[in-house]
Amino acid sequence: MSSNIIPTAEEIKMRDDDFIVSKTDASSRITYCNRRFIEMSGYQESELIGQPHNIIRHPDMPKAVYRLMWETIQNKDEFFGLVKNLCKNGAYYWTLANVTPSFDENNKLIGYYSVRRQPKQKLIDVVAPLYQAMCAEEARYSSNSTKAMDAATQLLNDKCQQLGLSYNEAIYTSI
C-alpha cells in the first residue's frame, strides 16, 4: 500500500456486470490490468504496470488473509477471497477475488491471474466485522508479525469451523 494515501469513508461500488482483471509476474508485479481496474483504482495504467499488486492494499485488510492467499496459490490452487482495495484518492471498493497461478508449458510458475467482481452485500456484512477483529488481533502483536497473523488466522479458522467450511469454500459458496 502506498503509505501517503489516507483512507476515506468513500465507497465505490462496482457494477454487477463488471470484471476487474489483472496479471502479475511471479514477484506479484502488475504486468496487465484491464480498463475497469484502472478506473476503479484511480491510477493511470502507467502508474500500475510494474508496481507490486499491493499498491491497492487497504489497511483494513488483515495480513492473515494475504498469507492464506499466498499459501493457497503457492500450492497451485486457486484462491477465492473478499478483498477491500484502496483507491489512489483514498476511497475503497470491495471485490470478490479469484486468484490463480499461471504456468508456462514446462509447468514453471510465471505469475498470477486475478479476476474480481462485485461481492454480494450479505458477504461483506458477514466478513467485514471479522476482518476488523482480525486486524485488531494483528495490532495486538504488532512487534511480532508471525504471532499477529497466527492469532488473526485463528479467528478466521474459528469462524470457518462454525460454518463447517474452509475460507475458500465459505467465500465460493456465497457467490
Give 71-106 as a DSSP string.
Answer: HHHHTT--EEEEEEEE-TTS-EEEEEEEEEEEE-TT
For the entire predicted model, the pTM comes to 0.92
The CATH H-level superfamily of 20-173 is PAS domain (3.30.450.20)
121: nearest Cα among 149, 163, 82: 82
Q: Is the pLDDT of residue 96 over 90?
A: yes
Q: How does pLDDT run across 115-131, given as a tens digit for each residue?
A: 999 999 999 998 999 99
Other CB atoms within 10 A of residue 107 CB: 7
- Is 133 within 8 Å of 60 (Cβ atoms)? no
Radius of gyration of the chain, Cα coordinates, nearest whole angstrom: 16
Domain definitions of the chain by residue range:
20-173
pLDDT averaged over every residue in the chain: 93
CA distance 113 to 11: 25
According to the model, what pLDDT value does residue 3 have? 61
Dump pLDDT digits (tens) for 75-92: 999 999 999 999 999 999
Q: What percent of the chain has pLDDT over 90?
A: 84
For 9-20, what is each residue's pLDDT tens digit?
999 999 999 999
Per DSSP bridges, beta strands 20-25 and 92-103 are unpaired
Residue 39: predicted pLDDT:
97
Exposed/middle/buried for residue 17 (C-beta within 10 Å: 0-12, 13-18, 19+) = exposed
> 143, 141, 164: which is closest to 153 by C-alpha?
141
- The 10s digit of each residue's pLDDT in 33-44 is 999 999 999 999
Angstrom distances, CA of residue 57 to CA of 65, 133, 139: 12, 18, 17
